[in-house]
Amino acid sequence: MHFARDQVLSYEHWNAAVDTSLEHGFGDALTTAASKIPAFGNESVSQLMFRAMVHCPYNFGAVATHLHEVSIPLNTGSWRSVFSLNVRGVEEIVVDELARRLGKDAVQVRRDFLKDDRQRAILDKVATEGGWGKAMPEGFAQGIAFHDEMKGVMATLVEIDARDPKHPRVVKAVMAVDVGRPINVSGIEAQALGGLTDGISVALRGGLHLRDGYFLEGSYHNFHYARQKNTPTDVRIRRAAR
């Protein structure tokens, strides 16, 4: 990222990851075979998916986002969000770092760089509903993130209890969603809650650990995916007024 004064001039993001697994959960044997055929030029199906799904929602000047996949002999499966989790998640951390560098509020920096009023409306809604910037007890903090994909817009504000740095816990979450005309409201809410649980799991709970060439985790009994005790009791989901 290059910036001058309060303007970002360019932003380049390289996403390095293992090969995207399309063999299971994506289709049958025919789809598996097709996924290995170069699509347009030398671009694979995963490259095309990456370009179709991933974009930066901010006016960061000249923006370039790249996927660099590495083949390693390890069985993997796709993330639920495929590329959004590791690409947009990292970009939101970068925006927080940009706010610190500029000495500005994290919400205000997002408002300044978002591309349209629909995005800003969702950000404003979650910041207002969640009480962004309010005084917090020692050891507690707020965080906020924004996402825009597949014509849907979403923002989430969380409050975290980090009094025990080894066991931080999200105690409150406020989520604002605009997916256009809502058809299945309970489905939208379930999708939002599932994404929240995934985020808590990846950031605070989950993970595989290797010792002497063996994984210590064998199944869900010792893989620490978020349980009910790890999820906030105060969760609010707000939809955009239409």
- pLDDT, residue 114, reads 92
- pLDDT, residue 42, reads 45
- pLDDT, residue 10, reads 83
HSE of 226, CA atoms in CB hemisphere, 13 A: 19
More confident: 152 or 44: 152
Q: Give DSSP secondary structure letters for 175-216.
A: EEEE-SS-S-HHHHHHHHHHHHHHHHIIIII----EETTEES
Asked whether residue 145 falls in the same domain as residue 228, the answer is yes
- pLDDT, residue 23, reads 60
Asked whether residue 226 falls in the same domain as residue 153, the answer is yes
Asked whether residue 51 falls in the same domain as residue 124, the answer is no
List pLDDT tens digits, range 113-161: 999 999 999 999 999 989 999 999 999 999 999 998 888 899 999 999 9
Distance CA 123, CA 145 (A): 9
Mark which of 67, 85, 113 sits at the end of a domain.
113
- pLDDT, residue 110, reads 92
Asked whether residue 104 falls in the same domain as residue 161, the answer is no
Asked whether residue 172 falls in the same domain as residue 101, the answer is no
Lowest mean pLDDT among 2-11, 99-108, 165-174: 2-11
Mark which of 96, 113, 130 sits at the end of a domain.
113
Q: Quick check: 175 pLDDT over 80?
A: yes
Instruction: Count CB neighbours of 210 within 10 A.
Output: 9
Asked whether residue 74 falls in the same domain as residue 129, the answer is no
Residue 174 near residue 157 (C-beta atoms within 8 A): yes
Distance CA 218, CA 211 (A): 13
Asked whether residue 225 falls in the same domain as residue 206, the answer is yes
Asked whether residue 20 falls in the same domain as residue 134, the answer is no
- pLDDT, residue 127, reads 93
When pLDDT is cut at 50, 70 and 90, the band that residue 240 belongs to is: low
When pLDDT is cut at 50, 70 and 90, the band that residue 41 belongs to is: very low
Asked whether residue 93 falls in the same domain as residue 164, the answer is no
In the DSSP assignment, the letter for residue 82 is T
Q: Say what percent of the chain tops pLDDT 70.
A: 83
Q: Give me the number of domains the chain comprises.
A: 2
Asked whether residue 20 falls in the same domain as residue 109, the answer is yes
Residue 158 near residue 143 (C-beta atoms within 8 A): yes
Q: Quick check: 168 pLDDT over 50?
A: yes
Domain that holds residue 231: 116-239
Of 80, 47, 92, nearest to 201 by C-alpha is: 80
When pLDDT is cut at 50, 70 and 90, the band that residue 111 belongs to is: very high
List pLDDT tens digits, range 72-109: 777 766 666 677 777 888 889 889 988 898 889 999 99
Asked whether residue 41 falls in the same domain as residue 85, the answer is yes
More confident: 49 or 36: 49
Mark which of 81, 96, 113 sits at the end of a domain.
113
List pLDDT tens digits, range 193-233: 888 888 888 888 877 888 898 888 888 788 888 888 888 87
Write the CATH number for 133. Answer: 3.30.365.10
Q: Quick check: 29 pLDDT over 60?
A: no
Distance CA 45, CA 148 (A): 22
What is the pLDDT averaged over residues 165-177? 89
Asked whether residue 99 falls in the same domain as residue 140, the answer is no
What is the pLDDT averaged over residues 171-183? 88
When pLDDT is cut at 50, 70 and 90, the band that residue 28 belongs to is: low
